[in-house]
Amino acid sequence: MTAWQCALELDSGRNVISGSTSQLSKAIGRGADLRIYTEFLHHEHIDVRSSNAERIREVAEFEITYQIDKTWSAGIMNLRQPIELPVGFGLRPSMSFFLYNQDGTQAIARPYLDGIPATAVPASSPTISPEDMPKYHAFDGWDQGTNAPSHNFIYDFDIFRFCVNDSWREVLHHSATGEVFSGSLADLVDAFSSGCELKLGIENLCVDLPSGSATPLNHEVFVLGGSAYYYTTQKLFIIGSHPLVRVSPGVPMQYASGNWDFGWLMVRSDGRVVYRRCDPYSLKFSDHVTQNCVRWFVR
C-alpha cells in the first residue's frame, strides 16, 4: 500500500475539489514529503506551435517545504534542471526553482550555471506572459538580464493534486541553544545508527531576507539531511543538508529581487546552523552562522 495520499486537490480554477488547505498545511508541519500532480496538453503548455494535443501527466517533487505561521504551506523544487519535453534539456544550464503555494499560485527563480555575463542589474522587470499561452498569467517580473531572473505567475493546469507522504516521525525538538523541548537526542542517535533517513524542520531560517512585512512572519523550513555525524563523548549530533532554497516568508510565498538565495546547511543539535550561501546573481559563496530551534525527523 502506498504511503502517498492526496491532501488537497484543486481544479483548473484552483477551487478545492477534495481535501483541504488545512489538511495539507498540517501534514507539511509534521515533516511530510510533497509531490504535486498536474495535467496539461502539449500544445497548450509545451509547444504552442505544435499540433500535438496529447494530454501529459506530471508529478513534480518539492523537496523543500515551508509552513508559514502554522497555516500556510508551499513547496520548492530544489534539484531540477529545465527539461525541454520530449527531447532533452533547455538551452541554458540552470536551476528551475519552481515554487507552488497551497492555493495553486506559482513562481520560478532561475539561477544560470553557464557563466554567461549578466547584461543588467537586479530590478523590477516587465511583466510578460508567454506568447499564445492563454492559460499562463504572469503577475510580475524580476531581474531580467541578470544571472537570476524570477517571476510569479499562475498556469491553469487542468488539475492540481497535492500529495503527501506523512510517514516521518519527530524524535527531537530543541531550542536555539540546544535545550530539549520534546523527544531526546538518544532517540535521534538510535534511529541514525540504524540507517534511518533524517529530515530537519528549522524555525525562522529566512528572517534576514528582505521582506514586504514590517515584522517577519514566523516560519519553518523543511529539508532532507544527508551525511550525519555523532560525537559520542560530547554528545553532539551534526548533519549536512540537501540543497536548500530560501525565500522570504509570505502569504503567498513569492520571489522578488534579492529576497531569495540557495545553498546548503550544517546543523547541530546545540542549535548552531551554518548556511553556506550561494549568491544567485554572482554564484559566489559565503558562510553565515545562526542559532535556530530545530525539529529532527526520522524514517
User: Over 60: is that where the pLDDT of 1 sits?
Assistant: no
Q: What angle do CA 59, 62, 63 make, to 5 degrees?
A: 130
Looking at the fold, whether 177 and 119 belong to one and the same domain comes out as: no
- What's the structural domain count of the chain? 2
Task: Read off the C-alpha cell for 41.
Answer: 496538453
Looking at the fold, whether 16 and 124 belong to one and the same domain comes out as: yes
Looking at the fold, whether 126 and 270 belong to one and the same domain comes out as: no
Mean pLDDT of the chain: 97
Q: pLDDT (tens digit, 9 = 90+) per residue, 91-107?
A: 999 999 999 999 999 99
Domain stops at, among 130, 163, 196: 163
Q: Please state, in angstroms and rounded to a whole number, the distance separating the CA atoms of residues 257 and 61.
A: 25
Helix, strand or coil for residue 103? coil
Looking at the fold, whether 65 and 142 belong to one and the same domain comes out as: yes
pLDDT confidence of residue 117: 97
Domain stops at, among 163, 180, 208: 163
Looking at the fold, whether 21 and 159 belong to one and the same domain comes out as: yes
Looking at the fold, whether 224 and 95 belong to one and the same domain comes out as: no
User: Over 90: is that where the pLDDT of 131 sits?
Assistant: no
pLDDT confidence of residue 2: 76
Side-chain half-sphere exposure of 154, counting CA atoms within 13 A: 17
Looking at the fold, whether 180 and 97 belong to one and the same domain comes out as: no
User: Over 60: is that where the pLDDT of 23 sits?
Assistant: yes
Looking at the fold, whether 41 and 112 belong to one and the same domain comes out as: yes
User: Over 90: is that where the pLDDT of 200 sits?
Assistant: yes
Looking at the fold, whether 142 and 263 belong to one and the same domain comes out as: no
Looking at the fold, whether 130 and 205 belong to one and the same domain comes out as: no
Domain stops at, among 126, 141, 163: 163
Range of the domain at 13: 4-163
- If phi > 0 it is left, if psi is from -120 to 50 it is alpha, else beta; for residue 53 that is alpha
Looking at the fold, whether 146 and 245 belong to one and the same domain comes out as: no
Q: pLDDT (tens digit, 9 = 90+) per residue, 76-89?
A: 999 999 999 999 99
- Can you name the residues that pair with 107 across neighbouring β-strands? 99, 152
Give yes or no for a contact between 185 and 235, defined as CB atoms under 8 angstroms apart.
yes
Query: What are the φ/ψ torsions at residue 167 (nearest 5 degrees)?
Result: -105, 5
Please state whether the predicted TM-score (pTM) of the whole model is above 0.85: yes
- If phi > 0 it is left, if psi is from -120 to 50 it is alpha, else beta; for residue 195 that is left
- Among residues of the chain, what percentage have pLDDT more than 90? 96
pLDDT confidence of residue 90: 93
SS3 content of the chain, % helix, strand, coil (to 5): 5, 45, 45
Looking at the fold, whether 207 and 155 belong to one and the same domain comes out as: no
